[in-house]
A and B are shown apart, each in its own frame.
Chain A
Amino acid sequence: MLFKNININFPFVKSKIIDNGLKLIFAEHHEQEGVVIAFQLPFGNFNEPIDFEGITSVIVNTILKGPAGMTCEEFAEKIESCGGTLFTDIGNENCIIGCKFLSRSLDVIIPLFWEMIINPALHPKEIERIKKEIQTSIQSELVDPSAIANKHFGNVLCGKDHPAGKFETIKSISRINHNNVKEYYNKYFCPLGSVLMFCGDFDSEKILINYEKIFSKWNKKIDGNIVIAPPIKNLSENKIRLIDKSDLTQASIVIGHPTCSELDTMKCDVLIANYILGGGNFSSRLMENIRSKEGKTYTIASLVSFEKKFGIFSISTSTINQKVKDMLENIFNIYKTFGEKGITKEELENAKKYLLGNITFQFEGIVNIAEKILWLEQFSRKFEYFEEFILEIKNTTVEKVNEAIKKYFYSKYFAMAVAGKKDEILPILKYYGDVEVINYKKIL
């Protein structure tokens, strides 16, 4: 596919919606002899019922154990003996099940992969195994203070009743049983609204001729509504949580507030603002002032994550307990100056150069290309979006970015989650408002 304003090697993309509502997408790319096949569903973690957080992960990973009528070992043998690798990617509002393989194995992998999707065995023993694996990975997060702080941050900011405020726990995983898994699969896994994408070294015509009928046979209908997470309420006071872990010599800090959604017209300006404040690594104000000049941290960065109806802005860092007070003062000073005075023309030009130059990297290789195509599908966007994005970046001005900062990037109140040692950190945090203190194992 040729773009007018972007010089990238984007493959020719062909798509077709078949009788059962499934969208097939083919992106032929013949540089090497690899293929990625990916099935994307239009829901993710946000769709999970209360008390069953983590069910998407359990189901998707159990699906990888293969279709009914075949043992997990037999299925794995068939996939792995030809070098295939299965993968999953579970997002908040989408989830992907995929396989990377060599083009010469196309006719072995496609039927197996599709049978796995439409007729998974979902065997109780496999479900229990997957649950244990997920619980172990939850356990492993407890040894990582930044993971603890990040997990709690969403909960502090959004509240436990908002989909973005929930997270999987050992208990929520324990509650999930075979019936829940089957029910959830039957209710939500269906062709309408889903995408089956092929990217790599193949002939799309041949795939259509050989497999369209097989893809069409899946005639399930969705039985329920998919949850689209609503906007997050604006904060009316500072919300602070200290997650106490008494052996920590260093505190991990996440601070933030709601921002605009993926579909907001100011999204590009928010992206630029974030690059300048903390997203641009050594080019950002936070990194330059806090790490490069003062050496107060190993890393500090800001991030904006965009969902369909809201976004979250956050700043993450860590520092030894003795420097937490200084660190917070520095962050808030930089943030305040940024919000009040906005950006400079030079900063805008540098941010534009980065965002425009970086486009090429995002399309290197079939895995990146596949990810980009699926991302467009998630937000029902056309391929022209890439060009529109570039034009928006090129045409924006200091005034527009500053307007976005005032609207979406400068909040009087903030949410903060800190994983640290209570005795040393609590008095510092109290300066910013009431502090909820919980033990780090509460995450379980």
Chain B
Amino acid sequence: MEKTKILLQNIRHYVLDNGLKVICLPKKESQIVCIQIWYLTGSANEYDGIRGISHFFEHMMFRGSKNIGPEEHAKKINEVGGHYNAFTAEDVTAFINSVPKEYLDMVLYMESDRMSDLIINEKVLETERNVIIEEYQTYMNNPLSKAFLEFRKEFFKDNPYEYSALGRLEDIKSINVNDCQNYYKKWYCPNNAIMVIVGDFENSEMVFEKVEAHFKRHERREISAEKKEIKKLNSNNVFMKREVDFDVPVCIVGYPAPCASSVDTIPLEILQIILSHGETGRLNKEVVRKNSLAIMAGGINQFLKYSGMSLFFAIFTPNISINKIKDAILNQIEQIKDGNIKEKEMEKVKNSVIMNRVFELYLCDNICQRLAYSEAIEGNYKLWVERLSALDTITIDDLINAAKKYWNSSESKTLYLKPKKINPLVYFMGLLRKFLPNK
């Protein structure tokens, strides 16, 4: 993958005197430039009374700063044909801008303005509170997302990740201007931010100079090193059942996983590909196709800054019992732990990872996102690049050891979404599938 290697060799890293980290990658083919700024604060930095406040900032950052009017940031980007977005997660609040290459300065100016001169007042707060309550209701009106949030709360009980970025309704209703000003002062500063710029520019040095010109005025602040209290995740076996207005039963099994900077994330990601990726993923091959127990099955790892989880799921028909489904999922995981991994599967994993990487590299937004995630959550942007070479050295034993270390049945937590009523048609379809001949 020569072209991939050549492109990634050009990544440059720079730190301003005030602590702002900047990562750049020129990509001349794009004719656009993407600028993302990730503040290293999210729902993990919240506590009772202000749960959901990070999400308020995702919204309020568009409501005007000293030199930028309300929604002007968004409008200016629209006017040049670009796009913007923002998201709040457990460890970060991120702001995304993509514009034609001529408008890099415009974005840097606007991002700089809202880094320390955001307008926070009663009027802005009340409007956004209403919007956020609407957003909250959208999630809560979906019984599946509501149940999953409850499961997540149980999974990360007494941990910084217990609450999602959505927060708590009671807190959303009571957060005040003072709370917001304190939070802004505490976390929105250059030495608590990472900026990634990818796109059509001549060289990274020139971009660094521009960033410095716009951001050097911001003073470094003392980040209160409130060390997160990371208790070991509750190792009890948990079984949660929720009756939902959804005709198809769902089983989710979760295991505690390491934090994003752990070397163990690489084997766990490879194992997820073996288990869950595509038609040949083992869960699909065995649980869905061979044994006809589920309609769909798969999994995903979520690695956060201080902890993580490996999730596996199966959507099945009401004629199958939850225990049978859960056993079928666990059985696949046990087989991995017993050493049943083939070289052929490793080959598939390698090609699949390379293929994903190649297609990621076509889009500046994707590259920005990956670099920012690696720096902000994993602790070093280089990890994203180095993952490819790790594929050449990792062994089947490494995979087995990781599975043994993290995927212990005794520590698994299960969520069973049980339909309130059984739809006879869905039941019948389940039986029918069972009796059709397999090819």
Residues of A within 8 A of B (CB): 7-9, 30-34, 65, 71-73, 76-77, 80-85, 100-102, 105, 121, 123-126, 128-129, 131-133, 135-136, 139-140, 142-146, 170-171, 174, 247-250, 280-283, 288, 291-298, 318-320, 350, 353-361, 364-367, 444
Contact = CB atoms under 8 A, between A and B. Distances in A.
A140 B248 CA distance: 8
A295 B131 contact: yes
Given A7-B31, A123-B439, A292-B127, A31 B3 contact: yes
B358 A295 contact: no
Contact of B315 (A136, A171, A248): A136
Given A139-B247, A361-B98, A280 B137 contact: no
Contacts of B296: 133, 136
Contacts of A281: 74, 78
Contacts of B423: 170, 444
B133 A360 contact: no
Contacts of A33: 1-4, 358
Interface in B348-400: 348, 351-352, 354-355, 358-359, 361-364
B71 A282 contact: yes
Given A32-B4, A85-B278, A283-B75, A80 B31 contact: no
A361 B344 CA distance: 39
Nearest to B30: A364
Interface string B142-171: 111000000000000000000000000000
A404 B268 CA distance: 56
B126 interface: yes
B129 interface: yes
A101 B355 contact: yes
Nearest to B129: A295
B355 A361 contact: no
Contact of B433 (A132, A291, A296): A132
A73 B245 contact: no
Nearest to A127: B436
Contacts of A131: 429
Contact of B279 (A76, A121, A283): A76
B70 A283 contact: no
B246 A34 contact: no
A298 B127 contact: no
A319 B135 CA distance: 9
Contacts of A282: 62, 71, 74-75, 78
B78 A100 contact: no
Q: Is the interface of A mostly helix, strand, loop or mixed?
A: helix
Contacts of B358: 32-34, 102
B81 A353 contact: yes
Given A33-B4, A80-B277, A295-B131, 5 more contacts: A72-B289, A133-B296, A136-B315, A282-B62, A283-B75
A70 to B, nearest CB: 10
Interface residues of B, number: 80
A174 B436 CA distance: 15
B355 A128 contact: no
Nearest to B361: A32
A48 B416 CA distance: 37
Contacts of B279: 65, 72-73, 76, 80
Contacts of B229: none
Q: For the complex of A and B, list the 9 residue pairs with the smallest distance between their C-beta atoms, beginning with the closest.
A: A357-B81, A365-B362, A295-B130, A83-B351, A83-B355, A76-B279, A358-B81, A282-B74, A295-B127
Contacts of B78: 280-283, 350, 354
B425 interface: yes
Contacts of B280: 73, 76-77, 80-81
B83 A361 contact: yes
Nearest to A105: B351
A48 B348 CA distance: 37
Nearest to B246: A143
B363 A364 contact: yes
A85 to B, nearest CB: 7
A170 B134 contact: no
Given A80-B348, A125-B437, A354 B3 contact: no
Nearest to B29: A31
Nearest to A317: B134
Contacts of A171: 425
B98 to A, nearest CB: 7
B438 interface: yes
Contacts of A250: 134, 137-138, 141
A429 to B, nearest CB: 18
B278 A76 contact: yes
Given A318-B134, A350-B79, A364 B362 contact: yes
Contacts of B364: 364
Given A33-B3, A85-B278, A350-B78, A144 B142 contact: yes
Contact of A360 (B7, B81, B295, B438): B81
Contacts of B128: 295
Contacts of B74: 281-283
B70 A292 contact: yes
A73 B355 contact: no
B62 A124 contact: no
B285 interface: yes
B167 to A, nearest CB: 14
A30 B436 CA distance: 46
B48 to A, nearest CB: 24
A355 B81 CA distance: 6
A306 B137 CA distance: 32
B32 interface: yes
A143 B143 contact: yes
Given A282-B62, A292-B127, A294-B127, A359 B81 contact: yes
B89 to A, nearest CB: 18
B347 interface: yes
A361 B81 contact: yes
Interface string B58-80: 00001000000011001100111
B82 interface: yes
6 contacts: A32-B358, A132-B295, A140-B248, A250-B134, A296-B134, A350-B75
Interface string B93-120: 0000011100000000000000000000
A128 B3 contact: no
A71 B439 CA distance: 7
B436 A367 contact: no
B432 interface: yes
B140 interface: yes
B437 A367 contact: no
Interface string B28-67: 0111100000000000000000000000000000100000
B175 interface: no
B81 A140 contact: no
Nearest to B316: A136
A266 B219 CA distance: 53
A102 B4 CA distance: 12
Given A73-B280, A143-B142, A283-B74, A129 B433 contact: yes
A80 B281 CA distance: 10
Given A32-B4, A295-B128, A364-B32, A357 B348 contact: no
B141 A145 contact: yes
A298 B139 CA distance: 11
